[in-house]
Amino acid sequence: MGKTRPGGHAVRMIDVARAANVSLMTVSRALKEPALLSEETRKLVLDTVRRVGYVPNHIASNLASARSNVVGQIVPSIQNSLYSHSIKGCADVLRTAGVQLLLADSGYSLEDEEALIDAFLAQRVCGLVLHNTVHTPRAAQMIRAAGIPIVETGDLARTPIDMAVSYSNFNAAKEMTLYLAGRGYKSIGFVCLTTKNNMRARERLKGYHAALTALGRERNPGLVREVEGGLTSGAHAMVDMMQRAPEVDAIFFAGDVLAVGALFEAQRRNWKVPERIAIAGFDDLDILRHTVPRLTCLNLPRLEIGRRSAEALLQRMRSNEPAVPTKLDLGFEIIQREST
Amino acid sequence: MGKTRPGGHAVRMIDVARAANVSLMTVSRALKEPALLSEETRKLVLDTVRRVGYVPNHIASNLASARSNVVGQIVPSIQNSLYSHSIKGCADVLRTAGVQLLLADSGYSLEDEEALIDAFLAQRVCGLVLHNTVHTPRAAQMIRAAGIPIVETGDLARTPIDMAVSYSNFNAAKEMTLYLAGRGYKSIGFVCLTTKNNMRARERLKGYHAALTALGRERNPGLVREVEGGLTSGAHAMVDMMQRAPEVDAIFFAGDVLAVGALFEAQRRNWKVPERIAIAGFDDLDILRHTVPRLTCLNLPRLEIGRRSAEALLQRMRSNEPAVPTKLDLGFEIIQREST
DNA sequence: CTGTTAGCGCGTTCAA
DNA sequence: TTGAACGCGCTAACAG
């Protein structure tokens, strides 16, 4: 693709050196190891750098030093606000360390993820953050072969490739189900995203089932729905479930904005929440705090996951320690509001 | 930062060449210009590439060819869903061209934007997308000096540094105001984000005023509020305005989720919308289609702006044309719903 | 069609 | 504290 400078020649380090009447290495040091130079020389060089408008060439620097200052992050969807919190956390921490963020979304596809990992490795990223704990065999193998630190988020991987930073979808779904039971709901419905190709949804469903088992309740297929994302899906799932299983008194929407969609539908139909039907959501989206009634949900450490992932990468990069697999469970909390 | 391969040596192009018993250039060509090779050689090389697990080193490639395949994008906020649509559009188009996206957020600060531009130029990005039409003098000068294509979005810049792809905030705000007047509202309030340091908010306010002038109405400071972002701000602004200027019959919330916050507040207070107060929003957030009542708003081509920005960059990169300043106005539309 | 030569801009290493 | 030589992994330009 594009020539870096169609318009002319960039100022190189050697140009600065000549302009300041020092060697190239002195310029290099003034920029990277200023302590090694006399104050006089350092000042001269840095002034010259500014005067001639020199912009360091990290790409050459990276090649020469066999290091990189770019981290790659792959999320299922850039537009989904849940992931943007992780991205933000990651970007913030990386920035303070002078590391750049290469971003891409996989569209929930393992094949696309593999292609992106390929591309990122070709860019010689010095670390990787994946919102995924399942990968194609080739992807996993490439990452291992690259020997760079990598953090898997999105769920607590049983056997991380390298490191894992997340909460447990299983536990979160289980605890919320138990919590609803504790508030007296006898027939708790469960709605999640399609579990096919979505390990996180699968874990949540398992957690729901585990809670039923713990409660000594029967599984009832009529109380479970797998749907696509979106406000409309949540609305449909609720209406449908209440028709086919009229005994349902609470629904736990374990995904995205499903709960909000259901709540709006209830408003439209003038169904009282929680009297007629109780609703609980998964993520603490901003909006859940402002609906009428406000929605009970889980509070997941999305931003913190991004931050801690970046920190884990940076630490591993600095201390060239061997890749000791590490799991970091950041937990979650249940937020009680008026909808349950 | 991190060594690229703490664990061992990467397979280089020369290793592939030796394994396949050809010259290094033949490997390079098999990867970049396969048409130049005999089918036999090409197949041999590509097989070897796979067999030895070679991952191209774009960083070396970029250095040698003085090209880059990374585009940088800077948005005010990564978490704001408005911008994530632009990011998505940009990322999608770039991906099909094999170009990567370096992302960062400026936090609405010009100084931070300047620092990021610095960092991106050091990474030798081959193009830049900025959601901003105002920059520090040094930032603008650095960009020009770098000679790379750049797209400014977020508003239609009067004099773009290079190219501009956007809608006009001025026109959008003006048209919506006129539209509300056309629906019979006599006293139209206006709420926007703090205009200090925010050219887009400023343009919207100007558009509102221009509409009043066109309508032959007086400006009334009691009908204008500048607030911080957030659902709560919208709610407060509405309540406050209705107390101090009881004649207000419609409020145009020209920013973010302000309108949603106001609507929720109205629900809480049992104020009928639009009978007691009409509410119009700026962006067509997903949720505006699902509230009760659904919200009238503008539909802005956020995704398309990202896509077209990326396309503009790619085109400029391919044809080494001189930097002819270009403006692309993608327009907007008004979506009438029940709230007005 | 394939190979050879000469760098890209910088950091590492060693010498002064 | 400073400098010179060499090479990172790859591509451009030219030769065969």
The residue whose CA lies nearest the C1' of nucleotide D6 is A64
From the list A6, A101, A123, which residue is nearest B104 (CB)? A101
pLDDT at B184 over 70: yes
Adjacency order of strands within the sheet including A163-166: A326-329, A163-166, A150-152, A127-130, A70-75, A100-105, B100-105, B70-75, B127-130, B150-152, B163-166, B326-329
DSSP codes joined into one string, B24-60:
HHHHHHHHH-GGGS-HHHHHHHHHHHHHHT----HHH
B293/A184 Cα distance (integer angstroms): 33
Interface residues for strand C (CB within 7 Å) are A 9-10, 12-14, 24-25, 28, 31-32, 56-57, 60-61, 63-65, 67; B 22-26, 29, 36-38, 40-42, 60, 63-64, 66
pLDDT at A8 over 90: no
DSSP H/E element including B164: strand B163-166
Q: How many CB pairs under 8 A join A and B?
A: 220
Would you place residue A166 in the very low, low, confident or very high pLDDT band (cuts 50, 70, 90)?
very high
pLDDT at A54 over 60: yes
pLDDT at A260 over 60: yes
- For chain B, what is the mean pLDDT? 93
pLDDT at A200 over 50: yes
Q: Are strands A297-299 and A333-335 parallel, antiparallel or unpaired?
A: antiparallel
Question: Residues B335, B336, B339, B340: is their CA dihedral positive or negative?
Answer: positive
Taking the CA atoms of chain B, what radius of gyration do you get in angstroms?
26
Burial class of residue B270 in the structure, from the number of CB atoms within 10 Å of its CB (0-12 exposed, 13-18 middle, 19+ buried): exposed
The mean pLDDT of B277-281, rounded to a whole number, is 97
- Angle, helix B24-32 to helix B39-52, in steps of 10 degrees: 100
pLDDT at B325 over 80: no
A202/A191 Cα distance (integer angstroms): 11
* Residue from B5, B57, B59, B228 whose CB has the most chain A CBs within 10 Å, to mutate: B59
Q: Are strands A333-335 and A150-152 parallel, antiparallel or unpaired?
A: unpaired
The residue whose CA lies nearest the C1' of nucleotide D8 is A64
* Residue from A290, A305, A311, A313 whose CB has the most chain B CBs within 10 Å, to mutate: A290
Cβ distance A79 to B56 less than 8 Å, yes or no, reads no
- Residue B200, C-beta contacts closer than 8 angstroms, at least 6 positions apart: B154, B155, B169
pLDDT of residue B3: 41
Which residue in chain A is spatially nearest to B99 when comparing CA positions?
A: A1
pLDDT of residue A3: 43
Which residues face A163 on adjacent strands? A151, A326
pLDDT of residue B323: 59
User: In terms of Cα–Cα distance, which of B282, B278, B292 is closest to B238?
Assistant: B278
Taking the CA atoms of chain A, what radius of gyration do you get in angstroms?
26
pLDDT at A112 over 90: yes
pLDDT of residue B6: 40
Phi, psi of A191 (to 5 degrees): -125, 130
Task: Count CB-CB contacts under 10 A for residue B131.
Answer: 28
Residue type, A150: I
The mean pLDDT of A168-191, rounded to a whole number, is 98
B311 CA: distance to closest CA in chain A (Å): 13
User: In terms of Cα–Cα distance, which of B97, B149, B147, B107 is closest to B131?
Assistant: B107
Burial class of residue B158 in the structure, from the number of CB atoms within 10 Å of its CB (0-12 exposed, 13-18 middle, 19+ buried): exposed
pLDDT at B292 over 90: no
Would you place residue B290 in the very low, low, confident or very high pLDDT band (cuts 50, 70, 90)?
confident
B36/A120 Cα distance (integer angstroms): 27
> Lowest mean pLDDT: which of A34-38, A134-138, A184-188, A301-305?
A34-38
Cβ distance A122 to B56 less than 8 Å, yes or no, reads yes
Bases in strand D with any atom closer than 7 Å to a protein CB: 1-5, 7-13
Q: Is the CB of B25 under 7 A from strand D?
A: yes
The mean pLDDT of A19-44, rounded to a whole number, is 92
DSSP H/E element including B178: helix B169-182
Task: Count CB-CB contacts under 10 A for residue B293.
Answer: 18
Helix (H, G, I), strand (E, B) or coil at B104: strand
pLDDT of residue B1: 46
pLDDT at A2 over 70: no
Residues of B in contact with A318 (CB under 8 A): 1-2
Tokens coding B56: 């191209």
pLDDT of residue B5: 40
The mean pLDDT of A185-211, rounded to a whole number, is 96
- Start-to-end CA span in chain B (Å): 55
Tokens coding A207: 């957690």
Helix segments in chain A, DSSP class H: 13-20, 24-32, 39-52, 58-65, 81-96, 110-122, 137-146, 169-182, 199-215, 231-244, 258-269, 302-318
Would you place residue A197 in the very low, low, confident or very high pLDDT band (cuts 50, 70, 90)?
confident
A55/B210 Cα distance (integer angstroms): 44
Would you place residue B158 in the very low, low, confident or very high pLDDT band (cuts 50, 70, 90)?
confident
- Start-to-end CA span in chain A (Å): 55
A194/A229 Cα distance (integer angstroms): 8
B99/B307 Cα distance (integer angstroms): 13
Tokens coding A215: 């409660």
Cβ distance B2 to A290 less than 8 Å, yes or no, reads no
Give, in Å, how far the C1' of D9 lies from the CA of A66.
10
A275/A40 Cα distance (integer angstroms): 77
Bases in strand C with any atom closer than 7 Å to a protein CB: 1-5, 7-13
- Residue B65, C-beta contacts closer than 8 angstroms, at least 6 positions apart: none
DSSP H/E element including A102: strand A100-105
Residue type, A224: V
From the list B104, B118, B147, which residue is nearest A5 (CB)? B147
Tokens coding A151: 């953090």
Q: Do residues A208 and A254 make contact, with C-beta atoms less than 8 angstroms apart?
A: yes
pLDDT of residue A5: 41
A19/B305 Cα distance (integer angstroms): 43
pLDDT tens for B130-146 read 999 999 999 999 999 99
DSSP codes joined into one string, A207-271:
HHHHHHHHHTPPP-GGGEEEE-SSHHHHHHHHHHHHHH-TT--EEEEESTTHHHHHHHHHHHHT-
- Residue B11, C-beta contacts closer than 8 angstroms, at least 6 positions apart: B52, B53, B54, B55
pLDDT tens for B187-219 read 999 999 999 989 999 999 999 999 999 999 999
pLDDT tens for A280-306 read 999 988 888 888 899 999 999 999 999
Would you place residue A175 in the very low, low, confident or very high pLDDT band (cuts 50, 70, 90)?
very high
Q: Which residue has the tokens 């990374």?
A: B70
Q: Do residues B334 and B300 make contact, with C-beta atoms less than 8 angstroms apart?
A: no
pLDDT at B7 over 60: no
pLDDT of residue B322: 61
From the list B57, B105, B268, which residue is nearest A124 (CB)? B57
- For chain A, what is the mean pLDDT? 93
Would you place residue B65 in the very low, low, confident or very high pLDDT band (cuts 50, 70, 90)?
very high
The residue whose CA lies nearest the C1' of nucleotide D1 is A37
pLDDT tens for A59-98 read 999 999 998 999 999 999 999 889 999 999 999 999 999 9
* Residue from B1, B257, B283 whose CB has the most chain A CBs within 10 Å, to mutate: B1
pLDDT at B127 over 60: yes
Nucleotide nearest to A17 (CA to C1'): D3
pLDDT at A50 over 90: yes
pLDDT of residue B223: 98
Angle at A267 between CA A264 and CA A271, to 5 degrees: 125
pLDDT tens for B76-93 read 999 988 999 999 999 999
